[in-house]
A and B are shown apart, each in its own frame.
Chain A
Amino acid sequence: MTDPRKLRLNLESTLDSVEAAELIVQRMADLNGFDDEQVYQIGMGVREMVINAIEHGNGFGSDKTVSFDASIDDDAMHVTVVDQGSGFDPSSVRDPLAEENLMRCSGRGLLLMRAFFDEVEIGPGEDSGTRIHSVKYRTVSAGGIAQEEVR
């Protein structure tokens, strides 16, 4: 019998994968007791994680896939996404909140991931690419997206 609290997928580098990952984790979160606001936040956060992987990591390459793991325990939902790109240094990403970057058309994905999840860790994948691990706790962010960011 499939464990409804664990999921492992190998996603193609397509837009359909973004939609699928978002819908699946939202369903998982909903079935496992996360409230509506958290379900929304998890879906949005996962969306940004997968977009980052297929667009900036894999460059929509048809020969590259994205490893996607999601699990839920008593405290939190954990999501890990690993792409097959050349990797990147998160510190090299321009601050999208800096005055000179506000009018840029891209570069907000990491900011949104950090707004929607309680923890986001970015590092190299085991073999190649970039690994992003995000955590959403059941109790911390019930009041809306990342109020600490808003303040």
Chain B
Amino acid sequence: MSFSTSIRDVAGVTVVDLSGRITLGEASGKLRATVRSLLDSNVSKLVLNLAEVSYIDSSGLGELVSAYTTARSKGCTVKLLHVQAKVQDLLTVTKLYTVFESHTDEAAAVSSF
């Protein structure tokens, strides 16, 4: 399954709908480019919607961390939305659940900033 991103604005919050597998190679590169492009546009509130992402490898996890740290260095806050069970397991095993604020409801995610 190829990886794709779609960007929308919800009440001043940028929501990126991610779809597919975030793995080493093209997908990780596409996620990186999307986030950097948004940061170049001075986005300050960013939600990564993982509803359609059921598979992430170690490189994909690294890319999420990179997105978080790069955003933070530019004054942007990144939060996660609709983390699927297998991805949540990965965040738990890697302790990254302690890093990312995660929501199961889009309205709650948007209003949390």
- Could you tell me which A residues sit within 8 Å of B by CB distance? 15, 18, 40, 44, 47-48, 51, 55, 96-97, 102-106, 108-109, 111-112, 115, 144-146, 149-150
Contact = CB atoms under 8 A, between A and B. Distances in A.
Contact of A51 (B24, B92, B95, B96): B24
Interface residues of B, number: 23
8 contacts: A18-B23, A44-B57, A51-B59, A55-B24, A102-B98, A105-B62, A105-B69, A109-B58
A115 B92 CA distance: 11
Contacts of B93: 111-112, 115, 145-146, 149-150
B8 interface: no
B91 to A, nearest CB: 11
Interface in B25-62: 25, 57-59, 61-62
Nearest to B24: A51
A102 B95 contact: yes
B28 to A, nearest CB: 10
Interface of B: 23-25, 57-59, 61-63, 65-66, 68-69, 86, 89-90, 92-96, 98-99
Contact of B90 (A18, A103, A105, A112): A112
A15 B24 contact: yes
Contacts, number: 59
A67 to B, nearest CB: 20
Nearest to A43: B55
A108 B25 contact: no
Given A102-B98, A103-B65, A105-B66, A51 B89 contact: no
Closest 10 CB pairs of A and B: A105-B62, A108-B58, A15-B25, A109-B58, A105-B66, A115-B93, A145-B89, A106-B62, A149-B93, A97-B95
Nearest to A144: B89
A48 B25 contact: no
Contacts of B59: 51, 106
A144 B85 CA distance: 10
